[in-house]
């Protein structure tokens, strides 16, 4: 089989539709077939030897790979501009396996304070039990980031944009710090997608996505991916074969199908989110809007420089308290109240209730979560309808 003739300089829609896919496919199918199998047969014992000695490339057992999975990985690598991609059963599986594969007892990690909550929780709680040391630094404070690096530092880990406040890291600065100290840099780019941002182009070593979100795009699958050089991703893939955090063939097929429309969906979500953010910023019952497409955003200039679009998540603070934000959410008619993000349907949530419910108001404030904060994951509906819906909901706050 030959790869589809797409080049790295092809447009995002061309890469979304064709990137990384072989021609012809099995059975001369247009759609990628689902290889629903757990194991693979060998013609004879000689083929087994040829496989393990690297003379032929083929699958062996489902925990080490699947043809449908391989096509999804090639497709994602083409979109991200990476040498290689490794697909996982979830975004957190991609994160935890990467950290397990790259860290050992006595190693040190620098993480930003606005990185995904579960990532920080895994670093501070799980990995510390195994002798991994962690330093947390403020997002955007590159002097503190560099000062935190030690001789034992192995990774600098962050997100951009961050969840839920849409902070934007200067990827070139992060990469430069890593390069100066020979420390690997990892960016969770889930909020951006490869359509809006490609961190590898700025010198970042590894990129992670929760493919459950924008890449799948329809809230019907769970997957994660880590992308980068063949050497780094290969080592992580080897560890995945031990942990077994592998995706299933059907979910992988749905991911490939979802990626076909990625550029179209993200472009629409960028446009919708920008309009919602501008509407919210001008509303008297909204105290603050956190969206990198607004000039008021503290890292707007950085986002403009390194992103092609500003994403589909708009976070904002309602004037009032926890109850005021709850009234707004309950009054909305179009977005569904649910966790997650990135699908074609708009979703809305109150982080103080959805993700941080077990914490007191004081404890939430310590980690930066305000009671009146609302996170709106903008879908592909008509922007005029979404704005009209928010207007009537805000009238009830």
Catalytic positions, written as ranges: 63, 116, 188, 213
* Spatial separation of the C-alpha atoms in residues 241 and 130, rounded to whole Å: 21
Computed from CA positions of residues 387, 389, 392, 397, in that sequence, does the dihedral angle turn out positive or negative?
Answer: negative
CB count within 10 Å of CB 261 equals 17
Q: Are 123 and 186 in contact (CB under 8 A)?
A: no
Cα 119 to chain centroid, rounded: 12
Cα 289 to chain centroid, rounded: 22
154: region left, alpha or beta (phi > 0 left; psi from -120 to 50 alpha): alpha
Q: Are 176 and 131 in contact (CB under 8 A)?
A: no
Q: Are 380 and 272 in contact (CB under 8 A)?
A: yes
CA triple 196-374-366, angle to 5 deg: 100
* Spatial separation of the C-alpha atoms in residues 352 and 372, rounded to whole Å: 8
The label of the residue with tokens 């390194």 reads 306
CA dist list (Å): 31 to 256, 271, 316, 343, 344? 9, 29, 40, 21, 21
* Spatial separation of the C-alpha atoms in residues 79 and 211, rounded to whole Å: 13
CA dist list (Å): 99 to 141, 171, 380? 23, 20, 34
Query: At a CB cut-off of 8 Å and minimum separation 6, what does 217 contact?
Result: 258, 259, 261, 262, 265, 342, 343, 344
Q: Are 297 and 229 in contact (CB under 8 A)?
A: no
84-88 β-sheet, strand order: 84-88, 224-228, 206-210, 184-188, 153-159, 108-112, 133-137
* Spatial separation of the C-alpha atoms in residues 145 and 23, rounded to whole Å: 46
* Spatial separation of the C-alpha atoms in residues 314 and 101, rounded to whole Å: 34
């Amino acid at each position: 089989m030959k790869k589809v003739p797409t080049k790295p300089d092809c447009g995002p829609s061309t890469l979304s539709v064709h990137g990384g896919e072989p021609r012809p496919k099995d059975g001369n199918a247009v759609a990628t077939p689902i290889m629903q199998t757990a194991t693979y047969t060998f013609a004879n014992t000689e083929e087994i030897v040829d496989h393990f000695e690297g003379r032929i490339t083929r699958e062996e057992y489902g925990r080490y790979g699947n043809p449908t999975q391989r096509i999804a990985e090639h497709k994602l690598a083409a979109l991200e501009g990476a040498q290689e991609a490794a697909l996982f059963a979830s975004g957190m599986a991609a994160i935890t396996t990467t950290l397990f594969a790259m860290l050992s007892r006595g190693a040190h990690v620098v993480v930003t304070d606005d990185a995904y909550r579960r990532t920080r929780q895994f670093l501070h709680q799980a990995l510390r039990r195994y002798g991994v040391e962690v330093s947390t630094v403020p997002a955007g404070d590159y002097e503190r980031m560099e000062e935190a690096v030690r001789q034992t530092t192995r990774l600098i880990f962050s997100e951009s944009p961050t969840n839920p406040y849409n902070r934007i890291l200067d990827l070139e600065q992060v990469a430069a710090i890593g390069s100066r100290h020979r420390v690997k840099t990892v960016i969770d780019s889930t909020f951006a997608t490869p359509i809006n941002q490609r961190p590898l182009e700025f010198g970042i070593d590894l990129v992670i996505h929760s493919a459950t979100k924008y890449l799948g795009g329809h809230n019907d699958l769970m997957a994660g991916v880590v992308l980068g050089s063949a050497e780094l991703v290969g080592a992580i893939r080897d560890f995945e074969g031990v942990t077994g955090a592998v995706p299933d063939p059907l979910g992988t097929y749905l991911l490939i199908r979802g990626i076909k429309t990625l550029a179209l969906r993200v472009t629409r979500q960028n446009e919708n989110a920008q309009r919602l953010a501008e509407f919210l910023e001008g509303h008297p019952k909204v105290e603050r809007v956190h969206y990198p497409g607004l000039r008021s955003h503290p890292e707007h200039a950085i986002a403009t420089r390194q992103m092609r679009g500003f994403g589909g998540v708009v976070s904002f603070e309602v004037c009032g308290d926890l109850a005021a934000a709850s009234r707004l959410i309950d009054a909305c008619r179009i977005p569904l109240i649910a966790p997650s993000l990135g699908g074609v349907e708009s979703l809305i949530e109150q982080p103080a209730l959805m993700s941080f419910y077990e914490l007191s108001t004081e404890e939430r404030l310590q980690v930066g979560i305000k009671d009146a904060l609302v996170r709106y994951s903008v879908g592909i509906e008509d922007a005029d309808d979404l704005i009209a819906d928010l207007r009537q909901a805000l009238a009830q706050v």
